A = this chain, B = another copy of it.
């Protein structure tokens, strides 16, 4: 126990400089590629080190486990936020959101990445929290289109905006899990329409029950 490499208790001695940042970026990109190709269960830290042209020891020391690496990747992904649409119509905005989710999940690369990340989140508590943080960001980005609809009088005043946004994604994720049918635009449009109809009927009023 001579030198503790990853000790957070010594704040002044952190060195987040050029090389460290470069290594992190290379490893995260390599991890993304590996997740897409082999899924989370087939993740091999040695393979990732080779792809990133970095020593195996470095990967094991800095992240320690596959779940911790994915958690870090999720933190990185959460910071890249996509701007939402502003069509001025609730139906249009929800449909745009649904199609964005559908296109993401149906895309070979993005879809595989999300499935792998979901698996990782199911395997570790910290990774699960990182995934929840990612979704909080995404939901917060789209929630305003619901609150604006409330202000226009299209929806009940006490509508739970984040819940409506989640209601758009939910059937798409569930469909991916339970059926082999492809996630097409029709499915996306139906998800958006169902969420809108339920919201108009007051199913998402935050008065709870």
Contacts and interface: CB of A to CB of B under 8 A. Distances in A.
A194 B174 contact: no
Given A115-B122, A198-B194, A166 B171 contact: yes
Main secondary structure of the interface of A (DSSP, over half): helix
A131 interface: yes
A21 interface: no
Contacts of A119: 119, 122-123
A173 B175 contact: no
Interface string A179-199: 110000010011001110110
Contacts of A122: 39-40, 115-116, 118-119
A135 B94 CA distance: 28
Interface residues of A, number: 42
A179 B162 CA distance: 11
Contacts of A186: 208-209
| Copies of this chain per assembly | 2
A121 interface: yes
A51 B170 CA distance: 37
A167 interface: yes
A152 to B, nearest CB: 19
A40 B200 CA distance: 40
Contacts of A193: 198, 201, 203
A112 B117 CA distance: 18
Interface of A: 39-41, 115-116, 118-119, 121-123, 129, 131-132, 135, 163, 166-167, 169-171, 173-175, 177-180, 186, 189-190, 193-195, 197-198, 200-204, 208-209
23 contacts: A40-B122, A40-B123, A41-B41, A41-B123, A119-B123, A129-B180, A131-B177, A132-B180, A166-B174, A167-B171, A169-B174, A170-B170, A170-B174, A170-B175, A173-B174, A174-B174, A186-B208, A190-B203, A194-B194, A194-B198, A197-B197, A197-B203, A200-B201
